């Protein structure tokens, strides 16, 4: 959705010559965009014929590949709406949409405030994040009306923004305060907060140099169900993992992650596990992984090629309790081979959304005894308590 109105005049192919721009201005194009046609027959693409009807000053044209003439005259069924009509339709869309998603508040630096009206929760289409994927994001769980580990997530958010060369619209403490005020306005007690930084709206070009003001957005998503510690199956992902530079920053390019998740679902699994460029276990599409060896050591891959998970880091700290009482013999970050992973006593996925999820099967290998292991269960309980009772880092 967009709050930006635009005309064809402004859509100029990058690196176009003046002639190409003129030709582009004059013509509507076929749906697949391959055939551009013009009143100027000399510029008409091969195989494109002029239709009798006209659309404004532009003659409508068809190509053999088109279903029908691309003309507005007499056949238009797309309404041209006023701003208030758009808002009405957006309200209706939100009222009628299926699913459980409930967005209880949104902040946008574009309108400089918080809205609780989901119909108004829009961002500009010419934001560099929308059309070029140039943006970073992060989350924080809302537990009993408290934000869990906001500062840790905010630190990662700002590191990601720096790696993506996105300027900050506000200083850290202002952004932190905006996020807290957004959650407060939402009255949400259980759910999650998501927030984004981008170079902001500009001119649809590749360079963000035409985007004068970076943008900051945040949304509160209600969610009543708490994570459960039930075991799942995982597969090895066939979707290539992001390179190190992009894996360590939480940028909005989650296409590999989404395809990896879809691959898992298509194979009856919960997640697909990525291996790094050296073949070592890396991470899942939105979670880290950990293992417990036969001699009760908790293993996690180094964070230099995967996202530095806030939940995984908190789990590492809480796991010290299990070392202290002998349930674990030690904790180590190191390279982990697939063979080691598949023959581990326990395997678990760790992330904000799932907290700690035991893995019972990886591809064809049953992990350990094929049931939720004691270490995964203990870590799940420790972190859930941590979220509910509020460690010093919970707001």
Ligand X SMILES: Cc1ncc(COP(=O)(O)O)c(C=O)c1O
Instruction: List CB contacts of 199: < 8 A, sequence separation 6 or more.
Output: 127, 128, 129, 134, 135, 166, 167, 208, 211, 214, 215
Shortest Å distance, C-beta 311 to ligand X: 3
Distance in angstroms (rounded) separating the CA atoms of residues 274 and 234: 11
Q: Phi and psi (nearest 5°) for 182? A: -65, -45
* Per-position x/- string for 249-288, each x denoting binding to ligand X as judged by CB under 6 A, each - no binding: ----------------------------------x--xxx
What single DSSP character describes residue 10? G
Query: Of 26 and 313, which CB lies nearer to ligand X in the complex structure?
Result: 313
The helix or strand, by DSSP H or E, that contains position 107, with its residue range, turns out to be strand 102-108
Contact 28, 61 (CB under 8 A): yes
Query: Of 200 and 309, which CB lies nearer to ligand X in the complex structure?
Result: 309
Query: Of 288 and 378, which CB lies nearer to ligand X in the complex structure?
Result: 288
Q: Is 387 in the site for ligand X (CB under 6 A)?
A: no
Choose, from 35, 59, 242, 250, the residue flagged as catalytic.
250
Shortest Å distance, C-beta 218 to ligand X: 16
Beta bridge partners of residue 291, listed in sequence order: 299, 347
Shortest Å distance, C-beta 313 to ligand X: 8
Contact 288, 309 (CB under 8 A): yes
Distance in angstroms (rounded) separating the CA atoms of residues 346 and 376: 7
Active site residue 250: yes
* Per-position x/- string for 302-321, each x denoting binding to ligand X as judged by CB under 6 A, each - no binding: ----xx-xxxx---------
* CA-based nearest residue to 343, from 319, 371, 310, 365: 365
Contact 232, 360 (CB under 8 A): yes
* CA-based nearest residue to 147, from 111, 117, 175: 175
Q: Is 352 in the site for ligand X (CB under 6 A)?
A: yes
Shortest Å distance, C-beta 314 to ligand X: 8
Site size toward ligand X, by CB under 6 A: 12
**Tokens linked to 333:** 């970050």
Query: Of 166 and 312, which CB lies nearer to ligand X in the complex structure?
Result: 312
* CA-based nearest residue to 314, from 337, 295, 288: 288
Shortest Å distance, C-beta 102 to ligand X: 21
Query: Of 111 and 302, which CB lies nearer to ligand X in the complex structure?
Result: 302
- The single residue among 351, 358, 368, 373 that binds ligand X, judged by CB under 6 A, is 351
Query: Of 91 and 146, which CB lies nearer to ligand X in the complex structure?
Result: 146
Shortest Å distance, C-beta 152 to ligand X: 8
Query: Of 1 and 262, which CB lies nearer to ligand X in the complex structure?
Result: 262
**Helix runs in the chain, H state only:** 18-26, 83-96, 128-132, 150-163, 172-186, 244-247, 255-266, 310-318, 320-324, 338-342, 374-389
Q: How would DSSP label each residue in 268-325?
A: T-SEEE-B-TTS-B--BTTBEEEEE-TT-EEEE--TTSS---HHHHHHHHHTHHHHHT
Shortest Å distance, C-beta 107 to ligand X: 20
Query: Of 110 and 359, which CB lies nearer to ligand X in the complex structure?
Result: 359
Q: Is 208 in the site for ligand X (CB under 6 A)?
A: no
Shortest Å distance, C-beta 309 to ligand X: 3
Tell whether the torsion through CA atoms of 206, 208, 210 and 216 is positive or negative.
Answer: positive
User: Among all residues, which ones are annotated catalytic?
Assistant: 250
The residues that touch ligand X, with contacts defined as CB under 6 A, are 283, 286-288, 306-307, 309-312, 351-352
């Amino acid at each position: 959705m967009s709050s930006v109105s635009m005309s064809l005049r402004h859509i100029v192919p990058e690196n176009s010559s003046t002639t190409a721009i003129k030709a582009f201005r004059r013509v509507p194009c076929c749906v697949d965009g391959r055939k551009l046609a013009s009143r100027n027959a000399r510029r008409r693409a091969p195989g494109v014929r002029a239709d009798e009807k006209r659309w404004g000053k532009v003659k409508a044209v068809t190509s053999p590949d088109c279903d029908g003439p691309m003309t507005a005259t007499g056949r238009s069924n797309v309404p041209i709406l006023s701003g208030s009509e758009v808002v009405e339709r957006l309200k209706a869309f939100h009222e009628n949409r299926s699913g459980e998603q409930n967005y209880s508040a949104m902040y946008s630096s574009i309108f400089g405030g918080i809205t609780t009206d989901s119909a108004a929760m829009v961002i500009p289409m010419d934001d560099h994040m929308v059309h070029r994927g140039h943006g970073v994001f992060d989350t924080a769980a809302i537990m009993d009306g408290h934000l869990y580990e906001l500062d840790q997530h905010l630190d990662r958010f700002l590191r990601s923004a720096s790696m993506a060369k996105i300027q900050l619209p506000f200083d850290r403490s202002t952004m932190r305060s905006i996020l807290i005020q957004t959650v407060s306005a939402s009255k949400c007690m259980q759910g999650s907060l998501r927030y984004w930084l981008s170079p902001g709206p500009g001119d649809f070009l590749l360079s963000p140099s035409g985007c004068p003001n970076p943008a900051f957005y945040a949304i509160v998503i209600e969610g009543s169900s708490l994570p459960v510690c039930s075991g799942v199956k995982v597969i090895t992902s066939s979707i290539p993992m992001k390179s190190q530079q992009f894996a360590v920053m939480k940028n909005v390019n989650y296409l590999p992650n989404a395809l990896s998740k879809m691959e898992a679902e298509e194979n009856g699994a919960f997640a697909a596990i990525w291996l790094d460029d050296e073949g070592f276990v890396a991470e899942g599409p939105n979670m880290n992984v950990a293992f417990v060896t036969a001699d009760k050591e908790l293993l996690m891959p180094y964070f230099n090629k995967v996202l530095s998970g806030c939940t995984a880091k908190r789990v590492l700290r809480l796991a010290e309790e299990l070392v202290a009482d002998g349930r674990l013999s030690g904790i180590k970050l190191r390279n982990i081979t697939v063979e080691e992973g598949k023959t581990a006593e326990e395997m678990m996925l760790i992330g904000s959304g799932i907290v700690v999820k035991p893995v019972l099967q990886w591809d064809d290998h049953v992990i350990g005894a094929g049931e939720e292991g004691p270490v995964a269960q203990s870590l799940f309980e420790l972190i859930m308590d941590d979220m509910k009772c509020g460690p010093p880092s919970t707001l």
